[in-house]
Amino acid sequence: MSTFKAPKGTYDLLPPDSAVYLAVREAISAPLRRAGYGYAETPGFENVELFSRGVGESTDIVTKEMYTLTTKGGDELALRPEGTASVLRAALEANLHKAGNLPVKLWYSGSYYRYERPQAGRYRHFSQVGAEAIGAEDPALDAELIILAVDAYRSLGLRNFRLLLNSLGDQECRPVYRAALQEFLRGLDLDEDTRRRIEINPLRVLDDKREAVQKQLTGAPMMRDHLCASCTAYHEQVRELLTAAGVVFEDDTKLVRGLDYYTRTTFEFVHDGLGSQSAVGGGGRYDGLSEMIGGPSLPSVGWALGVDRTVLALRAEGVELALPAATQVYAVPLGEEARRVLFGVVTELRRAGVAADFSYGGRGLKGAMKSANRSRARIALVAGERDLAEGVIQLKDLGSGEQRAVPAGEITAAVRAALG
């Protein structure tokens, strides 16, 4: 046992659990790839100001949760706490928006870091798959991304998730609502940190999960009552497109999420089987983020779905994913010549697309067959001196126990036929 352990609030991902995480990432990304989203990958750390400008100085993410560091050259960097700002920065830096084919559609997957109080479903290091559609203002794009997320969850077998939907308005109607909300909040009995938040971004107070705060928010003005005509029409189109696609949603007038850059469409996926950490993913439109980080006007929309939270949701529903076999064929050599021959067979099988493993370390037949069974292989290939002298390899079906001798030159074809 090592004297070192994973840092508090983090985890190691190892087999067999890692296979489930990989399957979840694949299921989430598959609908995106079919919809024309290309893969993007960004550094694990960025300039601190990218997040303080983009995510928002009033958010808990920036004020309390970012891991920051100063380089030897004096640069202030932060481990990325979310993916949107990084992906948009990368797209702007590469001038993807100038190619003339908007929106730019990107998807990504990786680890993100926030200094939070560790608890079930809430880690300081977590995994997400995200998607961004950059450079187009179209309710069909908002609906597309939501539908792709719903399809991903359904493909995994999840059923008990709910979609919460809201509109946060735009630069025309948000200021009017902001003023009305600030006036209401200033009359409440709130702590100093929350009062400062009222002046920076009062919508953050609506997102406060503390019961003492939520009790006082009864009667607070709602964004839906202040939406301008264009935002109302936009939101209604999103709702209509989702309904036509068979997507069930709940209107949640208090939904603002934890990031400052959202405008208009805002949504969150929750799962009631996860307790207090019920959110499994979410996103929305962020039409002003590009200008916030020094780029041109590029209305955009996106989401991020938590891989960790999705795995917990699958477990809560008792869903067992059909995972590809790590090993289909297990080779058991008996003697040095058999090691040479069967190692060549394993290499050939792998190159033919068959998942094959080998009994290393010169173990005897009994120990090697135990390993074959533990690997859940369907077929064992066994060869000793007598088999090689006869030019055959024993092919054993580990399910039925049936065994037959196959000419060595035909073993790859025989294995593939046996596997169907």
Q: What is the pLDDT of residues 309-340, one digit of tens each?
A: 999 999 999 999 988 888 999 999 999 999 99
What are 141-183's pLDDT values in tens digits? 999 999 999 999 999 999 999 999 999 999 888 888 888 888 8
Identify the H or E element spanning 205. Answer: helix 203-206
The reported pLDDT for the residue numbered 253 is 86
Mean pLDDT computed over every residue of the chain: 91
| DSSP label of 100 | S
**Which of 244-248, 256-260, 324-328, 333-337 has the least mean pLDDT?**
256-260
Q: Each residue of 61-84: pLDDT tens digit?
A: 777 789 999 999 999 999 999 999
Specify the pLDDT at position 198: 85
pLDDT of 122: 83
Judge contact between 194 and 213, C-beta under 8 A.
yes
Question: For the residues 253-264, what does the mean pLDDT come to?
Answer: 78
Q: Other C-beta atoms within 10 Å of 60: how many?
A: 18
Helix, strand, or coil here: 20? helix
Give me the domains of the chain, ranges plus CATH numbers.
17-173+227-317 (3.30.930.10), 329-419 (3.40.50.800)
pLDDT digits (tens, 9 = 90+) for 114-145: 998 887 778 899 999 999 999 999 999 999 99
pLDDT score at 216? 87
Tell me what pLDDT residue 193 has. Answer: 83
Among the listed residues 270, 327, 323, 283, the one whose alpha carbon sits nearest the alpha carbon of residue 27: 323
Asked if residue 355 has pLDDT above 90, the reply is yes
pLDDT, average across residues 208-213: 84
Helix (H) or strand (E) holding 112: strand 104-113
What's the distance, CA 341 to chain centroid?
43
Instruction: Please state the pTM of the whole predicted model.
Output: 0.89
In this predicted structure, the answer to whether residue 54 has a pLDDT above a threshold of 80 is no
- pLDDT at residue 258 in the model: 61
Q: Residue ranges for the binding site for L-histidine?
A: 82-84, 114, 128, 132, 257, 261-262
CA dihedral defined by 9, 14, 17, 21, rounded to 10 degrees? 80
Q: For residue 58, what pLDDT is reported?
A: 58
Annotated binding site: 82-84, 114, 128, 132, 257, 261-262
Q: Tell me, what's the pLDDT at 242?
A: 98
Question: Which range among 90-99, 139-148, 203-212 shows the weakest confidence by mean pLDDT?
Answer: 203-212
Residue 113 has what pLDDT? 94
Q: Cα-flanking dihedrals φ and ψ of residue 105, to 5°? A: -110, 120
Q: Is the peptide bond before 103 cis (omega within 30 degrees of 0)?
A: yes
In the chain, the percentage of residues whose pLDDT exceeds 90 is 69
Q: How far apart are CA 22 and CA 380, in angstroms?
A: 27
Of the pLDDT bands very low, low, confident and very high (cuts 50, 70, 90), residue 39 is very high
Quick count: other Cβ atoms within 10 Å of Cβ 73? 5
